[in-house]
Amino acid sequence: MDATSPSQTSTIRETSVLIADPSLLHAEAISWCLSAYGAFQSVDHVTTSDELLSSIRTQRPTVVVIAEALIVDSIRSVGSELAVRLGETRVAVFADRLTDRQLDLVANNRVSGLLSRREGTRAICDQLARIASGTPVLSAVLESRVTLDDDGRFHCVASSRLTQFTDRQWDVLIRVAEGARVPEVAEELNISKKAVEAHKHRIMQRLGTSDRVDLCRWAIREGLIRA
């Protein structure tokens, strides 16, 4: 692997990276490559959402890199955790296998980088170094699906009916699709049952269905819940 330039290393030598990937082999491989890259003070890896959130709280890494397989489980909770506790931590996501809705969800959760494994380890190391220094990164592989504006914000190109919902409607949709009853959703979200019913009605209208089973199928297809 090529040596890192002294100026680049000195600029980001105080950074730390946390890799989150349910595949231990992938997590260890990426960690090894980043360690060999020589520009990061520390590199660690975890394989579950719970370990990820625990490590975020205790380690306060400069950059968190999340694999696609953890997105459904963790992106909302990670986004909330970072927004509350770690204003300087940056999040990068491997996005090759994400659905359009997952991409849209990721783009609206303080993400600083959308990466592709297809670019190779050296390119990924370079991109993470840029993210650590504060520069948003969009992989060229993903440019047909995502844009990056001048303010550093990502936008999903695809226009899906599922990208039209508010955050609260998404909260309701996911829970209803998972089988939660209206009183349970109301209690968990700390809103009234009437509000849950109203959100549910608007969601069903937009999807053109009145059947919870259809709603569940939509959520599975968009990668929001697991089958």
pLDDT at 164 over 90: no
pLDDT at 103 over 60: yes
Which H/E stretch holds residue 135? Answer: none
For 43-111, the DSSP string reads EEEESSHHHHHHHHHHH--SEEEE-GGGHHHHHHHHHHHHHHH-TT-EEEEE-TT--HHHHHHHHTTTE
Handedness of CA 135, 141, 147, 153 (dihedral sign): negative
Which H/E stretch holds residue 165? Answer: none
Where in the chain are all domains bearing CATH 3.40.50.2300? Answer: 6-156
Where in the chain are all domains bearing CATH 1.10.10.10? Answer: 161-221
Side-chain-facing half-sphere of 126: CA atoms under 13 Å: 13
Which H/E stretch holds residue 215? Answer: helix 212-221
Cα R_g (the chain), whole angstroms:
19
Measured in residues, the chain has a length of 227
4 or 77, higher pLDDT: 77
Q: How far is CA 198 from the centre of its chain?
A: 28
Please state, for a pLDDT cut of 90, what percent of the chain lies above it.
32
pLDDT for residue 60: 86
44 or 81, higher pLDDT: 44
Q: 129: Cβ–Cβ under 8 A, 6 or more apart, which residues?
A: 8, 12, 37, 39, 40
pLDDT at 13 over 70: no
- CATH 3.30.1330.10 for domain 6-156, yes or no, is no
pLDDT for residue 128: 94
- pTM given for the model: 0.69
- How many other C-beta atoms are found inside a 10 Å radius of the C-beta of residue 30? 24
pLDDT for residue 143: 92
List pLDDT tens digits, range 113-134.
999 999 988 899 999 999 999 9
List pLDDT tens digits, range 58-87.
888 999 999 988 876 555 555 555 555 555
- CATH 1.10.10.10 for domain 161-221, yes or no, is yes
Q: 56: Cβ–Cβ under 8 A, 6 or more apart, which residues?
A: 18, 64, 78, 81, 82, 85, 86, 89
Residue 31 CA to residue 42 CA, distance in Å, equals 9
Per 3-state DSSP, the chain is made up of helix, strand and coil in percentages (nearest 5) of 55, 15, 30
- How many other C-beta atoms are found inside a 10 Å radius of the C-beta of residue 106? 23
Which H/E stretch holds residue 203? Answer: helix 193-207
